[in-house]
Structure 1
């Protein structure tokens, strides 16, 4: 009996690439990934070529290096490259240097992620999340500043009108979009639909994360323009999604939202762009705290 036909390699690669877009929001649904891609097309179509180049590069490097096919298939070797492609396309104009930087950094992101994931599985390391993107992003932005490379034209931020329900909803949607550097509410709505397609609970926590970030920023008296642009919502969104996947209690994701927001201003004080590092640190702190608590409870339990 002849072997059953397998999926065409090109179709497998397309599915893995779409899952890479979804993994930015910690999902592995190609449908969600397609809507993330469409959101970029809606909000900033000039960023899409860089995102595709970064995602393809990081995925192809993983395939060439023989990393676990299952990890590649669900997009784990795509999302850091996509984020680097987005960041570089946002900061730099399209010149011959830009694709070189995207390809190099996206390839390095896969090379950094692979040993981290092995150590996570063998030795219980903390999850990498988007740390390769953050580390390489910091290095690249420092390089851009050091070499005084020409920058792309900055996008304008929304002004701070009197707050009302409509402005609140638009800011919450922008908070979702800012995960991938978009300030378009329509793009944020597209992302919300993608998350709902992947998992309804995840979509709800994404909304709560962005809303919580906005509310805490306004309550703390931080710049209204930044709050309306969603700049205080995206790390809270990611922290809420990540922690809600692991913890059933709503208190843990709520704590993650608070921590992500409180950590964000510290990077401005250090002169570093926050990127997604507040989200990563919030999740790491809660993971380390829960492990320490579980160990303390286990050690204090009397043995018969």
Structure 2
């Protein structure tokens, strides 16, 4: 009979799965497991980097004594996982890659902790995936400066025919592109995970990805990018984040629109968008809502 895992190992496994779920702002272990399975389906070669990044960021948080409750729900895992995915996607597996993944994942936890303290004490805006974006930009710039060999695909597939089926598959790809996956089956796996966590969240995720593809095609942006889901993932995240905190559907809808309008601007300035359009959209709406609440409170007569 095999010995049972120790409680510490089980807690770490739960925290790691929660980190996968937190990429989509969820705390459901089943959702986290399905995110992991989606990576196995869509790009199994990225899974080792994702696990290494998630474990490193979680272990650094534990060693630094960050709040155990935050670690348990995956808040010190998702940025590391995303960095592991990004680096595994961009670089071949050499001795340098795990070093970069571990260093950047550790830094993501060190950056997130003071931000979260200020958010709770002084009302700072949520960090979301900002540590991942900031470190991702720095790492991609470092790769370019050092002229490290990139792990690029051997060839580019022809653009799929524009029809209803391809549009539906593009919506699923938009979910997958949150974690750099171009597989509709992986996107379906993610949708099931979101449905397990919360049905309303799954509907908003579908709406965000659908709006991304629709706006891209309406504006005449490259149809191959639209059908690959490249314009849907930021809108998906914005919809999920804002639907969690606002019951009124107007604000998540506005977040979808802002994320879609902001994304092309990063190409114009030569920066990879990553998830920054989603972050900016949520920050703008959150800051606007806070300003409105303060204005209403200050204008209300007292006594």
Is 1:253 the counterpart of 2:252 in the alignment? yes
Provide the secondary structure at the position in 1 that maps to 2:107.
helix
1:121-200 to structure 2, matched below 5 A, reads 121-154=120-153, 159-200=158-199
* Alpha-carbon distance, 1:160 to partner: 3.6
Q: Which residue of 2 aligns with 1:297?
A: 296
Contact 1:208 1:237 in 2 (8 A): yes
What is the Cα-based RMSD across aligned positions, in Å?
1.1
Provide the secondary structure at the position in 2 that maps to 1:67.
coil
Provide the secondary structure at the position in 1 that maps to 2:92.
coil
Moved more, 213-222 or 19-28: 213-222
* Alpha-carbon distance, 1:241 to partner: 0.1
CA–CA distance in structure 1, aligned partners of residues 157 and 184 of structure 2: 11
1:215-254 to structure 2, matched below 5 A, reads 215-254=214-253
Q: Which residue of 2 aligns with 1:75?
A: 74
CA–CA distance in structure 1, aligned partners of residues 158 and 264 of structure 2: 21
* Alpha-carbon distance, 1:216 to partner: 1.0
Contact 1:158 1:225 in 2 (8 A): no
Q: Which residue of 2 aligns with 1:98?
A: 97
CA–CA distance in structure 1, aligned partners of residues 269 and 13 of structure 2: 40
CA–CA distance in structure 1, aligned partners of residues 286 and 153 of structure 2: 37
Q: Post-superposition, which runs of at least 4 consecutive aligned residues in structure 1 deviate over 3 A?
A: 155-162
CA–CA distance in structure 1, aligned partners of residues 272 and 197 of structure 2: 30
Q: Which residue of 2 aligns with 1:3?
A: none
Is 1:43 the counterpart of 2:8 in the alignment? no
Residue deviations 1:73-105, cap 9 Å, x none? 000000000000000000000000000000000
Residue deviations 1:191-232, cap 9 Å, x none? 000000111111111000100111111111111111000000
Contact 1:260 1:281 in 2 (8 A): yes
Q: Which residue of 1 aligns with 2:276?
A: 277
CA–CA distance in structure 1, aligned partners of residues 23 and 298 of structure 2: 37
Equivalent pairs counted in the alignment come to 298
Contact 1:83 1:133 in 2 (8 A): yes
In the superposition, relative to structure 1, how do residues 159 and 257 fare at CA in structure 2: closer, same or farther (>3 Å)? farther
CA–CA distance in structure 1, aligned partners of residues 266 and 89 of structure 2: 20
TM-score, with structure 2 as normaliser:
0.96
* Alpha-carbon distance, 1:167 to partner: 0.9
CA–CA distance in structure 2, aligned partners of residues 170 and 60 of structure 1: 37
